[in-house]
Amino acid sequence: MLSSLHIENVALIKETTLMFGAGFTVLTGETGAGKSIVIDALSLLCGGRSDRELIRSGESYAFVEGCFEEIDEETAEKLSALDVHPDEDGALYLSRRVSADGRSTARIGDRQVPSSRLRAVAELLLNIHGQQDTLLLADKSRHLPLLDSYADSAPLLDAYGDSYRRYVELCDSLEELRATVADAAFKREMLEYKLESLKKARLKSGEEEELGAERKLLRSIEKIAAAADEAYGELYGDNGSAAERVHGAIASLTRIADSMPDGAELMDRLESVKCEINDIADTLRGAAETDVDGARERLDAVEGRLELISTLKRRFGTDFEGLLAARDSLLAELEQIDNGEGMIKELEEEKSMAFTALSAAAERLRALRKEAAQTLVSELSRCLAGLDMPSVTFVVEFAEKAPARDGADDVEILISANAGEVPKPLSKIASGGELARIMLAFKTATAATAPTGTMVFDEIDTGISGKTAQKTGVALKGLTKSGTQVFCVTHSAQIAALADTHLLVRKRESEGRTVSLVRALDSEGRVEEIARIIGGINVGDAARSAAVELLAEAEKL
C-alpha cells in the first residue's frame, strides 16, 4: 500500500507530506481547491507525462516521492523479475523530479532509472482510474484484454503466441520462397553470372595469407641464393673454410688427446661442431642451387593469383573470407532455386501442421475465455444490482477472426441497461454515470484475479447522487476487503461518509501566494466538511444533522 506521499512545488502545493493508512480514503474540497493536484502528483509518480506546467509558478522544479509498504508476495515476485526489491524494512520508494528546463529524473530507491522502468514498477503497485478510463470502457478494442485479465489467460495466451509466431514465420518463409521460385529464371542468370568468377577462381580458405608469405620469399630468392652460396663457401666449399679449419683442429688435438686432461672432451665438442657445420652447409648448398628462373616463373604465378583475388575483392566489396562466404551463399541460393518446388511443398506441409497446432491453441484459449465470460457476466450483474442497476443485462459477444497476436477471437461486451431491451455496445447505451458504475463493477469483479495494492478513483461519482452514490461508496469500500487500498476524489457526501480516512483539500493565501493544503479530518471536521458538501455555501444545523446521520449510517454498513 501507499504509506506516504511527499509533494513539492506541484501546481498550488508548495510542500506537503501525506501519511496514509489501509482501507478507504477520500479526498474532498471545494471546486478548484486542488484535489486534482494530488492525482496529478500520483500520475507523475507513476511515470506519467512530465508536463512543465505542473511546476509551481516561480519554482525551478517539481518533486514527488511515494513510499510503498506491506507489499504482497505475488507483487514482490513481479518486482523481483524487474530487479526491484524493497529495502530491509520492506519499504519501496519511488520518486520523480521535473525541472523547469523539461528534464525529468526518476528513481527507484536510490537508483536512477528511465521513466519507462518507473512506469512498469508503479503499474504493479498503484492504478489510477479517472473519467478517461471510464470512457475507455466504451472502446471495443479494450474488451478482449479486460476479459483475458479476468480469465488469467496468460499461460494459454503465451502458448498460443508461440504457435502463432511459428505459423507466421512459415507463412513469411513460404511467401519468400514462392517469390524466389517465380523469379527463378532471371535470378538464376544473375546468380550464375556472379558465381562464375568465384567458381573459376577455386578459392581455398587461408590461401591469400599463404600466397602473400610465398610472394615475400620469392621476391628475395636471388639474394637468398647468392648469400647462401657465399655462406656455403665460407663454411665448407672454399680453401681455408670453417669445415677445413675444424678438421685441422681435430687432427692437432688427436696427437695430444691422451696427454691433455680435457683432450677427449674437446675432441667430442669439435666433432659436434663439425657435424653442425656440415649440416648447415648442406642446407645452404640447397638454397644456393635454387632454380632462380623457376622461382621467377612461380613468382609471376603467385602475383597473378593475388591480383585475381584483389580484383574479386573489389568487385564484391569484401575481404577474402567474404568472398568464400559470398560463394557459399550464391551456391545455396542456386540450390534453393533448383529445389524450389520441393521446398515449397515441404513448407506447405509444415505450414498446414503449424496451422492445425495454432487452431488447437486458439480453441483452448477461446474455451477459457467463454467460460470466464459467463462468470464475468454473472459477477458484473451482481455488482451492478448493488449499484442501483438491477435490470442490466450483459452479453459477451464472440466472433471468430483470422489468427492474430491476441488469438482468433473478436470480443465485444454488450449491455442492455433496461429490461426487455436488446443488448447494444456500451458506447451507444450507457450514460456517463452508468459507465462510471459499470467501470467500478469491472474493478470489483476483477479485484480477485488482478489485484492491485492501491487503487485511485478520480470523481467516480459523476452523474450519480443520493442512494446510488451511497451504494457506489459501499462498493468502493468493499474493494478494501481483499486488501486493496482505495483512494477516491469525490463530491458526494454519501461516499465521503463511508471513508476510513477523510482528507480535506483547501486553498488559502500565504505571503501573497495561493497555496493548496491537505489535512486529515477528525470526527468533528468530517461533520463540517460533509455538511458543506450537503448544504453548499451556507451550512446550517439541518446540513450538520444530515452529516451526522450519514456518518452514523455509514458505521452500520
Tens-digit pLDDT profile for residues 505-540: 988 887 778 888 888 999 999 999 999 988 877 788
> HSE on the CB side for 455, CA within 13 Å?
27
Kindly report the backbone phi and psi dihedral angles of residue 547, in degrees, each rounded to the nearest multiple of 5, phi listed first: -65, -45
Residue-averaged pLDDT of the chain: 84
Could you tell me the strand order of the sheet in which 2-10 lies? 13-19, 2-10, 61-68, 92-99, 104-108, 111-113
Which residue would you say has higher pLDDT here, 457 or 284? 457
Q: Are 471 and 462 in contact (CB under 8 A)?
A: no
* pLDDT of 108 strictly over 80: yes
Tens-digit pLDDT profile for residues 142-165: 899 889 988 989 899 999 999 999
Q: Are 25 and 488 in contact (CB under 8 A)?
A: yes
Q: At what angle do helices 340-385 and 432-446 cross, to 10 degrees?
A: 110
Which residue would you say has higher pLDDT here, 315 or 290? 315
State the average pLDDT over residues 2-6.
94
State the average pLDDT over residues 462-484.
85
Which residue would you say has higher pLDDT here, 464 or 159? 159
Pairwise CA distance, residues 71 & 79, whole Å: 10
State the average pLDDT over residues 409-423.
86
Amino acid at 543: A
CB under 8 Å to 392, separation ≥6 — which residues? 380, 381, 384, 385, 415, 416, 417, 438
Confidence of residue 402 (pLDDT cuts 50, 70, 90): very high
* pLDDT of 49 strictly over 70: yes
Q: Give the sign of the dihedral formed by CA 434, CA 435, CA 440, CA 445.
A: positive
Of 62-76, 137-151, 420-434, 460-474, minimum mean pLDDT range: 420-434
Pairwise CA distance, residues 52 & 104, whole Å: 10
Predicted local distance difference test score (pLDDT) of residue 58: 87
Predicted local distance difference test score (pLDDT) of residue 497: 93
CA 200 remoteness from chain centre: 49
Q: What percent of the chain has pLDDT over 90?
A: 31
* pLDDT of 302 strictly over 80: no
Predicted local distance difference test score (pLDDT) of residue 237: 64
Pairwise CA distance, residues 296 & 302, whole Å: 10
Of 25-34, 179-188, 261-270, 520-529, minimum mean pLDDT range: 179-188
Tens-digit pLDDT profile for residues 212-271: 887 777 776 667 766 766 676 667 766 666 766 777 777 777 777 677 777 777 877 877
Kindly report the backbone phi and psi dihedral angles of residue 459, in degrees, each rounded to the nearest multiple of 5, phi listed first: 55, 50
Predicted local distance difference test score (pLDDT) of residue 2: 94
Best CA proximity match to 526, nearest among 25, 10, 58: 25
* pLDDT of 417 strictly over 90: no
Strands 454-458, 126-129: pairing kind: parallel
Pairwise CA distance, residues 19 & 3, whole Å: 6
Predicted local distance difference test score (pLDDT) of residue 420: 77
* pLDDT of 318 strictly over 90: no
Q: Are 503 and 521 in contact (CB under 8 A)?
A: yes
State the average pLDDT over residues 462-485.
85
Which residue would you say has higher pLDDT here, 17 or 303? 17
pTM over the 0.75 mark: no
| Cβ neighbours around 217 below 10 Å, total | 13
> HSE on the CB side for 128, CA within 13 Å?
19
Could you tell me the strand order of the sheet in which 424-425 lies? 393-404, 407-416, 424-425
Kindly report the backbone phi and psi dihedral angles of residue 214, in degrees, each rounded to the nearest multiple of 5, phi listed first: -65, -40
Q: Are 488 and 502 in contact (CB under 8 A)?
A: no
Confidence of residue 288 (pLDDT cuts 50, 70, 90): low
Beta-bridge mates of residue 487: 25, 456
Domain ranges (residues) in the chain: 185-338
Of 36-50, 55-69, 354-368, minimum mean pLDDT range: 36-50
Predicted local distance difference test score (pLDDT) of residue 222: 66
Buried b (16+ CB within 10 A) or exposed e, 340-369: beebbeebeebbeebbebbeebbeebbebb
Predicted local distance difference test score (pLDDT) of residue 149: 85
Predicted local distance difference test score (pLDDT) of residue 304: 82
Pairwise CA distance, residues 147 & 82, whole Å: 25
Tens-digit pLDDT profile for residues 329-385: 888 877 777 777 778 888 999 999 999 999 999 999 999 999 999 999 998 888 888
> HSE on the CB side for 546, CA within 13 Å?
17
Pairwise CA distance, residues 429 & 413, whole Å: 12
* pLDDT of 185 strictly over 90: no
Predicted local distance difference test score (pLDDT) of residue 448: 63
Predicted local distance difference test score (pLDDT) of residue 131: 59
* CA-CA-CA-CA dihedral for 472, 475, 477, 482, to nearest 10: -160
* pLDDT of 168 strictly over 80: yes
Strands 126-129, 393-404: pairing kind: unpaired
Predicted local distance difference test score (pLDDT) of residue 289: 59
Straight-line distance from the first to the last Cα atom of the chain, in angstroms, rounded to the nearest whole number: 24
Confidence of residue 3 (pLDDT cuts 50, 70, 90): very high
Pairwise CA distance, residues 129 & 147, whole Å: 18
State the average pLDDT over residues 379-404.
88
* pLDDT of 453 strictly over 80: yes
Which residue would you say has higher pLDDT here, 49 or 447? 49
Pairwise CA distance, residues 444 & 124, whole Å: 17
Confidence of residue 440 (pLDDT cuts 50, 70, 90): confident
* pLDDT of 441 strictly over 90: no
Predicted local distance difference test score (pLDDT) of residue 450: 63
Best CA proximity match to 527, nearest among 516, 535, 517, 537: 535
Amino acid at 512: G
Three cell numbers written together for 548: 451526522
Pairwise CA distance, residues 219 & 25, whole Å: 92
